[in-house]
Amino acid sequence: MKKKRILPIIMLMCIVLLCACNHNRKSMKNEYAEQVGEKEYAENTDRDADTDRQIEKGYDLPIDARQRAEAEEDCKEMMGLILELYKNADKGCASNVVIADEVIDQMVEKLKVTGCPVTITEIYSNMENYTKLEDFLNAAAAGRGGSAVVYEIHSDGGIGRYKYSYDGKDMYVLSAKAAWNDDKPVITYISYTRMKEWRFTDKGYFCYELCVPEYPEVTEIVDGSCMVRVKPITEENREMSKKCVLGLAYQGNNLLCSDWDADHMEYLDYNGMYEYLYAMKYQEQFPSEDYPDGIPKDEFERLIMEYLPVTEEEIQDYAAFDKEKQTYAWVRLGCFNYAPTYFGTSFPEVTDIRENEDGTVTLTVDAVCSMILCDDAVITHELTVRFSEDGGFQYLENKILDDGISNIPDYQYRIVRE
């Protein structure tokens, strides 16, 4: 009788213990699930916070999968259009391929038929189909959203694709670059960045500054400035720019960035300008290794007098001249005689040509700086020249307009004159 009563009690106790174990297992499982969920939640929250911070910074922005795929496909499609030109181009033996200018021009023509704006990485180059970008920028300036895609052909035959978009408040650029690998296109770079500021100038330049890493994230200045020529330069202005001013520019000599005329030539840096005039005349770099003891008097004076209305005696008086050796000093431009400036990176652009009654020609020239200054006219100056029947010319006068000389660094002479 006792055994019959004990058996149900034992069974009841087993059931209670089994339920308790199942409850504990469920509690542990739920607790683990909650812990994992909290971890995932925390990770997602951190990722969201990182994304928010990156969006606030404006660079390395997350790229929509559809936009990324579109950029990559477009680049490869455009590369396909110029494949045969690239394959047949003379690439030489150097690791850094440089395609001939005439082949680059043919590539431009291939991409031009797509109707998209196309440009190249060269000074004074014009953008094909530029009105599409111009219309987009004018609409953005009026507060209307939209987008425009520009293709840029690089000197190695690769392609850059830049999709500019404006949402009514901010301007963005999705940049993608494609290069060749065994005659096959590969995407080498893609990024999405907001612009700090932008403007479309009256001259037709699209100037903008990208958001970039800043201190304390980086210790050196990162230049986010960019400049794109939209409206074309005239053929006459381009040819005159190449012929008369590009070879001089604004670094290492002061012929274009100082006020002077035929009666006031004592402050020109003759020793500094010599190598630039040499390159203009002979279309090759000055062979400095051939002149370790200075430039012989006759050679130096003959070249200077070809381009400037100055006498031998004046050159000897104004330049660094060794009377005993009968040579003019020359030293390479370097850290000991030149402090780099952003203005020095500017390139000269002729914007107007005026023929004078005395047969001379006055060129209106803008100094265009695409770096941190990002200015299509840092200074504007008038350069007067006289052309000869044989195609040569002589510089007669330079005048910086609107007190622009006060906006540029003081010139540093290559050789300190005594």
Extents of the domains making up the chain: 65-232, 237-407
> Which pTM does this prediction carry?
0.84
Output the pLDDT for position 217: 87
Which tens digit of pLDDT belongs to each residue from 182-230?
999 999 999 999 999 999 999 999 999 999 998 888 888 889 999 999 9
Nearest to 193 by CA among 215, 214, 177, 170: 170
User: 275: how many CB neighbours lie within 10 A of its CB?
Assistant: 20
Q: Do the Cβ atoms of 62 and 50 come closer than 8 Å?
A: no
pLDDT tens digit sequence for 275-325: 999 999 999 999 999 999 999 999 999 999 999 999 999 999 999 999 999
Q: For residues 203 and 200, what is the distance between their CA atoms, to the nearest angstrom?
A: 8
C-alpha to C-alpha distance for 260 and 268, rounded to whole angstroms: 8
Per-residue pLDDT, 352:
98
pLDDT in tens, the chain (418 residues): 444 454 444 454 544 444 544 545 445 445 544 555 655 545 555 555 566 677 889 999 999 999 999 999 999 999 999 999 999 999 887 778 899 999 999 999 999 999 999 999 999 999 999 999 999 999 999 999 999 999 999 999 999 999 999 999 999 999 999 999 999 999 999 999 999 999 999 999 999 999 999 888 888 888 999 999 999 999 999 999 999 999 999 999 999 999 999 999 999 999 999 999 999 999 999 999 999 999 999 999 999 999 999 999 999 999 999 999 999 999 999 888 888 899 999 999 999 999 999 999 999 999 999 988 799 999 999 999 999 999 899 999 999 999 999 999 999 999 986 6
Note if the bond before 216 is cis, omega within 30 degrees: yes
